[in-house]
A and B are shown apart, each in its own frame.
Chain A
Amino acid sequence: MRPSRTIDISTGLFVLLGFAAILFLVTQITNREFSLHSDSYRLQAQFENVGGLKPGAPVSMAGVTIGRVESIGYDMSLFKAVVTLRIDGRYNQIPNDSDASILTAGLLGGQYIGISPGGSEESFKDGDRVEFVQDAIVLENLISKYLFSQASGKHQDSSAPAPDSGAPPGPERTGE
């Protein structure tokens, strides 16, 4: 058996290493940047459709993350989704006529809220509501809109001599 001092030292090293690893996992690879700032404020925005937006999604301005989506609820009287945003207190100069839109990061990325600044002199305060919003784009609605516009376009052209040549083959295949 080895002397117990060596065992103690190695065990201590092992435990230290283990806790260092846990600390690394907790602080370095999780998103806790905004929970550290206590001086944040809340904004509310009402959307017809939030798509795949989830609590914790980033709120960004010009691509810089300035806050996170805190919660998403549904208002039964307005029939709208109510999204609560938590904005970092450092960014307290946002004009109060800025608009919020739900955007998608990349092809496979998650959805986030983009805020583009308005021209008002006054800025948002805690509890304010974002008046100008743009809903999430639902792919099915987009496709059906495109299909309907194609169909009505074709209907108008039906008097033309070659009706088939004008229409692109894409939407017809999707429509089958």
Chain B
Amino acid sequence: MIALAQELLGSLARFLERLGGLSRFTLSVLRQCPAALLRPRLVVEQIYNAGALSLVIIMTCGLFVGMVLGLQGHDLLQRFGSEESLGMGAALSLLKELGPVVTALLFAGRAGTALASELGLMRATDQISAMEIMAVDPMRRVVVPRFLGGVIAMPLLTAVFITVALFGVQLVGVQLLGVDQGQFWSQMRGAVELDDVREGLLKGLAFGVACSLIAVYEGYNAEPTAEGVGRATTRTVVISAVVTLVLDYILTAIML
């Protein structure tokens, strides 16, 4: 019993230690951001890594998410005899929920793991220590550009995802199941407000900050062993997914 309590206390202490470390890390990343923007070369490279390389998976998944939404939405709506609302329902659910959340989960899986394992491997092969010895700040040179690249890429990826998914809905709903094209688009236009688009992009940005931060934190603080790098990568995906979904609830509650 006492051993169990000690175990619990120990894990609580570890959790608090990690949370404190993450806060300190966040502050130092934010402090370095303006300096990193003075060297756009590094940031552009990371936008390429986080954004352009994720584009194929984002677009493929977006298309299929949209197509499934078209099938399911059509099946549900035709019970009420209002298949024409498919465009409206799909657009709103994609903009407000599915788009940002699925993009963030894919982003954590594709770009987050790449960031964490790269940084972890740099740590394990003493590249980060070498930089410190050469008086190059690894935060400024390595961590912050990766963070900024992810933050800039995520809203753009979200917008691409939603657009492709809408065409997927259109493909199944209009071309395959015969919903009237004019009704489809006009009901969508009638119902979607500019605020809904803003909500989607803001969520995308918030998830981008959270996922990138977790990835660079886990990678930068990975144990310098092969096992440690693997664990950091796994933890990046798990924590990113949980944080994304919790953050999604909070943001939805605020913006609704």
Interface residues of A (CB under 8 A from B): 4, 7-8, 10-11, 13-15, 17-19, 21-22, 24-26, 28-33, 56, 58, 106-108
Q: From A14, A107, A108, give the contact of B51 (CB < 8 A).
A: A14
Q: Contact: A10 with B52, CB < 8 Å?
A: yes
A17 touching B192 in the complex, CB below 8 Å, given contacts A7-B44, A22-B159, A26-B197: no
A30-B197, A31-B189 known; A18 and B156 CB under 8 Å?
A: yes
By beta carbon, the residue of chain A nearest B149 is A11
Q: Which residues of the other chain, B, contact A22 by a CB distance below 8 angstroms?
A: 155-156, 159, 197, 201
CB distance from A87 to the nearest CB of B (A): 17
Q: Are B192 and A31 in contact (CB under 8 A)?
A: yes
Interface residues in B141-165 by Cβ distance below 8 A to A read: 153, 155-157, 159-160, 162-163
User: Within 8 Å CB of B162, what residues of A?
Assistant: 21, 25
- 11 additional contacts (CB under 8 A) given A18-B157, A22-B201: A7-B48, A11-B48, A11-B52, A14-B48, A15-B156, A18-B51, A24-B163, A28-B189, A29-B166, A29-B185, A30-B189
In the complex, residue of chain B having the shortest beta-carbon distance to the beta carbon of A33? B189
Docked CA distance A31–B81 (Å):
24
User: Is A108's CB under 8 angstroms from B85's CB?
Assistant: yes
Indicate the size class of the contact surface on chain B.
35 or more
Is the CB–CB distance between B52 and A13 below 8 Å? Answer: yes
Contact A108 B156 (CB under 8 A): no
Dominant secondary structure at the A interface: helix
A29-B91, A29-B192 known; A17+B160 contact, CB < 8 A? yes
Q: Specify which chain B residues have a CB less than 8 angstroms from the CB of A7 in the assembled complex.
A: 44-45, 48
Query: What's the least CB distance linking B11 to chain A, in Å?
Result: 41
Q: Which of the listed residues A28, A29, A33, A56 has the most CB atoms from chain B within 10 Å of its own CB? A: A29
* Chain A residue at smallest Cβ distance from B50: A14
Q: Which residue of B lies closest to A58 (CB)?
A: B190
Bound-state CA distance A11–B155 (Å) is 15
Best-buried of B55, B163, B188 by chain A (most CB within 10 Å): B163
